């Protein structure tokens, strides 16, 4: 997806002095890079990066780093995250989410027989310190090649499980075959893999159908601005968190 002039008029000169954090409520159907490109083009900000990728299907809090703040990306990406989402029981896909091809289905009766207590037990078994195997459809590199590129060729390769921590994995609502949840986890956690693993634990399979990031460290979704609102604005400055305010946020959490 390329930036469009429909995003609004560009300022006459590029901004090289604008520095800080921009909290964006990312819409679905766009990559994190798409959002970066839209903001860079629309406001002619020379340096724009992001503090943690969201899959195209996912929505919610995406932290953009402007100007000198791009040097702080590691400090932003290192924070724990909170998500809300929905998984669908009884269906597995090759990407572990709704954008993939169906690879297995379970009997409807087996899915309908699952209780809230069953689902809560499965979620509880996926909390604490875990080793998680990155999905094949992911941006992680093996041998210098991103896994999703190998997956597109129908290849499956050995991946090394990596340590993650899931603080909590809560069932919010069960309306079979869908289960709404909230999860708080460490950086690098694939929530769609948690959904897949929950389906395995329940014996019926599952995949992620909805995901929304609501928090990253001290930053919350309520403070974010929808991308469409930003692109329609005359200036970014009213929405940018200065570097001094970012430092104060880090002090709040003892960094």
Helix, strand, coil abundance in the chain, percent, nearest 5 = 30, 35, 35
In degrees, to the nearest 5, what angle opens at C-alpha 231 toward C-alphas 229 and 234?
95
Residue 97 falls in the annotated catalytic set: no
Q: What is the DSSP string of 38-95?
A: HHHHHHTBS-EEESS---TT-EEEEEEEEGGGGGGHHHHHTS-EEEEEEEEETEEETT
62 Cβ partners below 8 Å, 6+ apart?
23, 24, 25, 26, 32, 35, 50, 52, 54, 213, 224
Residue 242, SS3 per DSSP: coil
Interatomic CA distance for residues 135 and 95, integer angstroms: 7
Spot the catalytic one: 25, 55, 94, 97. Answer: 55
- Which tokens is 63 given? 């932290």
217 Cβ partners below 8 Å, 6+ apart?
76, 78, 79, 80, 249, 253
Distances (CA, A) of 145 to 73, 134, 139, 141, 150: 23, 14, 9, 5, 8
Which single residue is written with the structure tokens 């290192």?
78
Which residues are annotated as catalytic? 55
């Amino acid at each position: 997806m390329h930036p469009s002039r429909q995003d609004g008029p560009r300022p006459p000169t590029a901004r090289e002095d604008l520095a800080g954090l921009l909290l964006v409520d990312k819409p679905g159907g766009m990559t994190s890079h798409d959002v970066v490109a839209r903001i860079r083009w629309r406001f002619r900000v020379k340096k724009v990066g992001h503090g943690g990728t969201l899959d195209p299907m996912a929505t919610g809090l995406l932290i953009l780093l402007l100007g000198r703040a791009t040097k702080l990306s590691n400090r932003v990406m290192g924070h724990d995250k909170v998500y809300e989402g929905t998984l669908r029981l009884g269906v597995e896909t090759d990407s572990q989410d709704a954008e993939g091809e169906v690879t297995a289905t379970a009997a409807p009766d087996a899915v309908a027989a699952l209780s809230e207590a069953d689902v809560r037990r499965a979620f509880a078994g996926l909390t604490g310190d875990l080793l998680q195997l990155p999905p094949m459809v992911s941006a992680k590199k093996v041998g210098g090649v991103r896994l999703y590129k190998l997956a597109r060729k129908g290849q499956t390769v050995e991946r090394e499980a990596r340590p993650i921590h899931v603080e909590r994995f809560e069932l919010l609502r069960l309306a079979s075959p869908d289960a709404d949840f909230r999860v708080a986890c460490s950086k690098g956690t694939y929530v769609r893999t948690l959904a897949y693993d929950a389906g395995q634990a329940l014996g019926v399979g599952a995949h992620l159908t909805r995901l929304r990031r609501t928090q990253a460290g001290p930053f919350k979704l309520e403070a974010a601005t929808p991308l469409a609102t930003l692109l329609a604005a005359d200036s970014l400055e009213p929405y940018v968190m200065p570097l001094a305010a970012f430092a104060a946020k880090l002090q709040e959490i003892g960094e």
